Structure 1
Amino acid sequence: IHLDNVREFACASISRVVQQSQTIPGFLQRDAVRRLGPLMLDRSLAVRETATGALRNLSACGGHEVCDDMVKQDVMTPLTALLRECCAGFETNDALSLKGQKNTVEDVANEAVNLLWNLCESSSQALSVFNKAGILDVILQCLERHTHNIKLALSAAHCLHTVTEDNAEFLWSMNNAVLGTLESVLLSSQADMAHTLLRTLAAGSVWNLKSSLPTAHQAQTLTALMATLSQCLELDAGTLIPQLRQAEVARSATASEAGNMEDHQDDEEEGVGLRRNGKATKIDKDFSDLLPRGKEELREATALLTAQQTSLEIIVNMCCSDDPSDDEWEEASSSDESEMCPDGLSEGNTSLLSPLCLSAEVHAALINHNIPEKVWGISFLTYQFSPRMHRVQYRALTCLHNMLSTMNAESLGGAAALQAVAQHLSTLVFSPPEIPKEEEFLEAVTSAMRSLLQIIAYMKIPQCMTPQQMMSLSEAATRCDVVSVRVNALAILGITGSTLAKENGTAETLQMIGNALLQVATKDANLVVCGEALDALFDVFADGDEAERAAENINLLSALKALQPVFKAKIRKEGKGKYSLEQLCVLDNVKVNLRRFIGYLETVVKK
């Protein structure tokens, strides 16, 4: 027993130390993975749990390279064995839990599933091992225990959501057991936030597996999936989070405990970075199993925000017009179905989920469940509590952008609704004393504004944002390091300018827009941004008396003639090493259009 305690203490110490990323290389050099691996199968459950927890932290804090290295050092072999042993011991575990034993099989399984999740998220090698090791049934068993152990089920749901994403090889494992388990979770009725998150993650897995669903289940499953997302988005985080905070403060005061929910939410934000890999800054991970015992309100708040963020991300993917999986569905529908769908799932697989039919079905489901209105409602909220709440709003704005890009105006509520959205976006951006500088906010809000303004311009709907406001947004955005933000801002200026060019008395404003676009086209270090600025110039000054007058006043022709050889030289010099093939094609198109536009301006001057 004494040696068990020593091993447990050593593993716990490693678990704490590796949270400091600078210590990780030293542990790897000392062969820590190979030493900890066998301890995952130690005779002591406490040692198993702490050893697996240490490897979990190592995988979370080490990033992609460390996870790949862990797989190379064969961490998956003892991990797979541990998971199988855990599931075989669940019945024994129930008896131990009733006796109040501290370390149970399910506690060990939870650490193991989280380690598997981290590895599969960060390492394609780990994902490949998962596909071949046949441990899907283990994850399903953990998921099925949601009525007894929601913590373990959530870890399994997160893991399944990760391994089903963009994993064509996994489709060979898809069978009726997977679908049955996911449908069972989707149809569960528990109202707590943890089960709300569980259902949301199951919905995400179902969406990832959409191309493998049998025809007979497609409509029913899509309805259940959309109902899950709809119910999650109906929850008013702006009301519920303050209520949970007040409940925790009251309980803490009663128990004479120091601290309040806000402090822990700050810890939560830091904890995301510690517990997950580098992607955590963009895609938050649930780590509610790591929150202090007794912090039920915080667990509920974390689960709610994670569920809403995940729901919005699923809808973003649904509305993604350039989803590469569209091509896969097309290929699947034209291939031999018996080869594509193992284990009795091959009974016709093309009806709802072929590309054309899918978009119609998803479109109808989104409308029937009032998803656009619910997304707008979340994006409209002004959060004042946690950075994570702001991030939910940012996802809602991204979701709004994708819906505006892929759904027609009537489906979105018509002109009145679009004007209301424009007014809301204007308030979000221009109400503060200065335009917010937070990069994630700017990326989300400029994407939404760009899509909205394109529709408004096409439908000739009056807009509430002034050219001066657009200029101030552009100035703020062009100082942002994120390329997509600068590109969006330039496109917004282009849309605004091309609309103004059709009106009388706008030459002065067009000059202001033209000078701003020329400045970016000449000075921005990124060729994609320069190309977008030129595209916007072409749109603004393409036609009309006001545009001609403004172009003459800012000497647009001579400025573009001077810029043309510089732009061409930059493409030759920087193009191949720095930009993708798609970006180079766009830049080449801009180069051709620049030559043609200069020719057009020359004919205008000769009039």
Structure 2
Amino acid sequence: MNAVKEADLEEEELGEESCPAAELLEKLQSPSADVREFGCASISRVVQQSQTIPGFLQRDAVRRLGPMLLDSSLAVRETATGALRNLSACGGQEVCEDMVKHDVMTPLTALLRECCAGFESTVVLVKEQKNPVEDVANEAVHLLWNLCESSSQALSQFNKAGLLDVVVQCLERHPHNVELAISAAHCLHTVTEDNSELLCSMSTAALGALENVLLSSQPSMAHTLLRTLAAGTLWNMKGSLPAARQAQALSAVVATLSKCLDLDSGTLVLELRQAEEDRHRNAPAAPDAGDQAAGEPAVTEMDEEEEAPQQKRNGKAVNIDNDFSDLLPRGKEELREATALLTAQQTSLEIIVNMCCSDDPSDDEWEEESSSDESDMCPDSLCDGVSNLMSPLCLSAEVHGALINHSIPEKVLKKTEFPRPQATDVCHQDPSWRGLIKKMQRVQSRALTCFHSILSSMDAESLGGAAALQGAAQHLSTLVFGAAEIPKDEEFLEAVISAMRSLLQMIAFKNIPQCMTPQQLMSLSEAATRCDVVSVRVNAVAILGITGSTLAKEKGTAETLQMIGNALLQVATRDADLVVNGEALDALLDVFADGDEAEKAAQNIQLLPALKAFHPVFKAKIRKEGKGKYNPQQLCVLDNIKVTRATSSTESIHLSKVIE
């Protein structure tokens, strides 16, 4: 479009440092539809640079763009909705809440209803051509999804306005417009999570639409993502399904997730990248900016690497992936397919985590890992003593059976492997594909956290017994120790150490031989000490405790126990975080509680004098920092720690009453 070309030229003239908010917003008042479209398209591009967003908000951009959603020109509607969509995607939670506060939901609701009414009435002259009303609807549904994911007020208005049926209508366009259907499926997956008000009024039409999507058989990665999102929505709706249909729905959900995880993302990324090169080689000329839809800005490499803003999902804090893949320009079909595949696999893993957790929203690991470094306290909370592995398993027999029958644990473990080097190499070669590397790494991290959840909700026999657990432990050890240095990526490190802790705990409980060498233990402890994420340090300390407790039962292990004891003492006395101190003290109690080897090691490292000296320091630290800095659960942990002398005498130091 001419408006898009002009917007590109204007951006170049303005330069990176200026914010043309006033001038562009002024164009929205023009009597010319072309000028209004130009203004909206320009805003759509400029707000991708997050530093420009305050300038637009200060000039009341939301109120001025809102009426454009119902403009007499269809092109203006599309570009205006695209501008608001980009503003919501790039601005984060605060911007989304500000948009809702400025009543963007009223024109958005009216626009969505008009779009759905126009799906069948709009004449499309060329069979392959998309209905232009559907393009507007796609922008609108995506904006609605962003708002509902970040604002509880938007979700409340979604419920009151009865927008479920409208979004379902968009989902039903999937046979010929998968892009619109995916936006609708993302929206449904978001709004059905922990939304009892909506689920109570769930229509049979919505259920039927989801089942039709699950029964579709198109092989594209876009349709794989669509089916995965439909499966997640159906799982969210499980409580509102008729009893007679629950077993069938569960089977369909798990089968869909299983097929998604079966796909080899490394091979498919390579094939798609090659397909793009072949297409470009055979094409007469590359498309110019005019072939790009006005509402679809090209994403720069800088956009892909921006830090993810903290947002809320249904009013709860959560880190939202700053994924701009939905803003990719048209003409990137292969990249869209690759992105859809990785998004589908990440979503599948997240759904399995939800299936393994209880129905209490506070137990949802994807919510808990948001802003709190202590996220791994659930499900392996220190307050629970030995962890949920010792408590009744939380999976129902039906869910447990479905996951086992579809070999979900094995498929999840397979996804914990590092991305294939050949796939990451070809992505490095093209700036527009580089964002996929982070997505491949995120799938691995999600798989590790998912495996952790599986370990916490299934017994050893269900997971294949001793041989399978030892194999899994060896695999996790290879991930951590396979390279010359332990990986420093915090997301990976947090996920792999969490999974390793749960697995070693299960192995120890079953008296299965451990697989980590003392040297590996020490290197893991050292790497964790340098990590800023508290849960990484907590889990590394727990691993030392689990392994030390096992070794204390064996002969000739005093020297290794000394290494472990010294490492734990260092953490207990020097780490800046009280929770880590407490975990280290708790681990010392476990390691040196009993046994000749433990007693010998404790004497050699002068454990009791060290603990006596640390006792008043720890007590003062809790009194000074505890109540202001730590939550009740963490204080419960610290309150119940007892550091006991690891000798045959009865002398002990009790820290159970240090919090008054």
TM-score by length of 1: 0.88
Match of 2:241 among 196, 208, 213: 213
| Alpha-carbon distance between aligned partners in 2 of 1:49 and 1:394, rounded to the nearest angstrom | 36
Distance 1:92 1:195, change over 3 A: same
Counterpart position of 2:399: 362
Match of 1:460 among 511, 532, 538: 511
| Alpha-carbon distance between aligned partners in 2 of 1:448 and 1:191, rounded to the nearest angstrom | 33
1:239 is paired with a residue whose SS is helix
Match of 1:519 among 567, 570, 580: 570
Counterpart position of 1:249: 277
Distance 1:112 1:73, change over 3 A: same
CA drift at 1:278: 3.6
| Alpha-carbon distance between aligned partners in 1 of 2:338 and 2:322, rounded to the nearest angstrom | 14
| Alpha-carbon distance between aligned partners in 2 of 1:398 and 1:470, rounded to the nearest angstrom | 21
Q: Is the 8 A contact 2:306 2:322 kept in 1?
A: no
Q: Is the 8 A contact 1:321 1:406 kept in 2?
A: no
| Alpha-carbon distance between aligned partners in 2 of 1:68 and 1:408, rounded to the nearest angstrom | 43
Offset from partner CA, 1:340-379 (integer Å, 9 cap, x none) = xxxxxxxxxxxxxxx9996211100001111111112221
CA drift at 1:323: 4.2
Counterpart position of 1:30: 59
- Matched letter for residue 650 of structure 2: T
Q: Is the 8 A contact 1:145 1:152 kept in 2?
A: yes
**Pairing 1:496–2:547 present:** yes
| Alpha-carbon distance between aligned partners in 2 of 1:163 and 1:242, rounded to the nearest angstrom | 35
Match of 2:524 among 460, 463, 473: 473
Q: Is the 8 A contact 1:122 1:277 kept in 2?
A: no
Offset from partner CA, 1:212-261 (integer Å, 9 cap, x none) = 111011000000011100111111112211111122222222237789xx
| Alpha-carbon distance between aligned partners in 2 of 1:118 and 1:504, rounded to the nearest angstrom | 59
| Alpha-carbon distance between aligned partners in 2 of 1:176 and 1:303, rounded to the nearest angstrom | 28
Q: Is the 8 A contact 2:134 2:180 kept in 1?
A: yes
Counterpart position of 2:109: 80
Q: More displaced, 448-457 or 575-584?
A: 575-584
Offset from partner CA, 1:23-62 (integer Å, 9 cap, x none) = 2222112111111000100000110011111111111122
Counterpart position of 2:87: 58
| Alpha-carbon distance between aligned partners in 2 of 1:11 and 1:326, rounded to the nearest angstrom | 42
Q: Is the 8 A contact 1:412 1:418 kept in 2?
A: yes
Counterpart position of 2:500: 449
Counterpart position of 2:13: none
Q: More displaced, 90-99 or 553-562?
A: 90-99
- Matched letter for residue 505 of structure 1: G
**Pairing 1:423–2:474 present:** yes
Counterpart position of 1:405: 456
**Pairing 1:192–2:241 present:** no
| Alpha-carbon distance between aligned partners in 2 of 1:128 and 1:395, rounded to the nearest angstrom | 30
For the aligned residue pairs, the C-alpha RMSD in angstroms reads: 2.6
**Pairing 1:49–2:109 present:** no
Counterpart position of 1:263: none
Offset from partner CA, 1:44-92 (integer Å, 9 cap, x none) = 0110011111111111122111111111111100000000001001113
**Pairing 1:171–2:205 present:** no
**Pairing 1:435–2:486 present:** yes
Distance 1:198 1:113, change over 3 A: same
CA drift at 1:271: 4.6
Q: Is the 8 A contact 2:93 2:311 kept in 1?
A: no
CA drift at 1:162: 0.8
| Alpha-carbon distance between aligned partners in 2 of 1:150 and 1:214, rounded to the nearest angstrom | 29
CA drift at 1:282: 5.0
1:146 is paired with a residue whose SS is coil
- Matched letter for residue 27 of structure 1: F
- Matched letter for residue 76 of structure 1: M
| Alpha-carbon distance between aligned partners in 2 of 1:356 and 1:553, rounded to the nearest angstrom | 41
Which 5+ residue runs of structure 1 have no aligned equivalent?
260-265, 328-354
| Alpha-carbon distance between aligned partners in 2 of 1:268 and 1:464, rounded to the nearest angstrom | 45
Trace 1:86-165 onto structure 2 (pairs within 5 A). Answer: 86-93=115-122, 95=124, 98=127, 100=129, 104-165=132-193
CA drift at 1:571: 1.8
Distance 1:275 1:357, change over 3 A: closer
- Matched letter for residue 397 of structure 1: L
| Alpha-carbon distance between aligned partners in 2 of 1:94 and 1:190, rounded to the nearest angstrom | 26
2:156 is paired with a residue whose SS is helix
Q: Is the 8 A contact 2:412 2:447 kept in 1?
A: yes
Which 5+ residue runs of structure 2 have no aligned equivalent?
1-29, 288-297, 313-317, 365-391, 425-436, 653-660
Distance 1:558 1:120, change over 3 A: same
Match of 1:383 among 395, 414, 420: 420
| Alpha-carbon distance between aligned partners in 2 of 1:16 and 1:400, rounded to the nearest angstrom | 40
CA drift at 1:272: 5.4
Counterpart position of 1:394: 445
Counterpart position of 1:332: none
CA drift at 1:285: 6.9
Counterpart position of 2:354: 317
| Alpha-carbon distance between aligned partners in 2 of 1:269 and 1:225, rounded to the nearest angstrom | 36
| Alpha-carbon distance between aligned partners in 2 of 1:155 and 1:285, rounded to the nearest angstrom | 16
Counterpart position of 1:603: 650
Distance 1:213 1:443, change over 3 A: same
CA drift at 1:148: 1.4
Q: Is the 8 A contact 2:394 2:457 kept in 1?
A: no
CA drift at 1:400: 1.0
**Pairing 1:292–2:329 present:** yes
Offset from partner CA, 1:360-402 (integer Å, 9 cap, x none) = 1110000111111111222135433122112111111111111
Q: Is the 8 A contact 2:445 2:496 kept in 1?
A: yes
CA drift at 1:169: 2.2
Offset from partner CA, 1:90-115 (integer Å, 9 cap, x none) = 113352664958x8111111111111
Q: Is the 8 A contact 1:397 1:445 kept in 2?
A: yes
2:640 is paired with a residue whose SS is helix
TM-score by length of 2: 0.81
1:93 is paired with a residue whose SS is coil
Match of 1:565 among 600, 611, 616: 616
Q: Is the 8 A contact 2:81 2:143 kept in 1?
A: yes
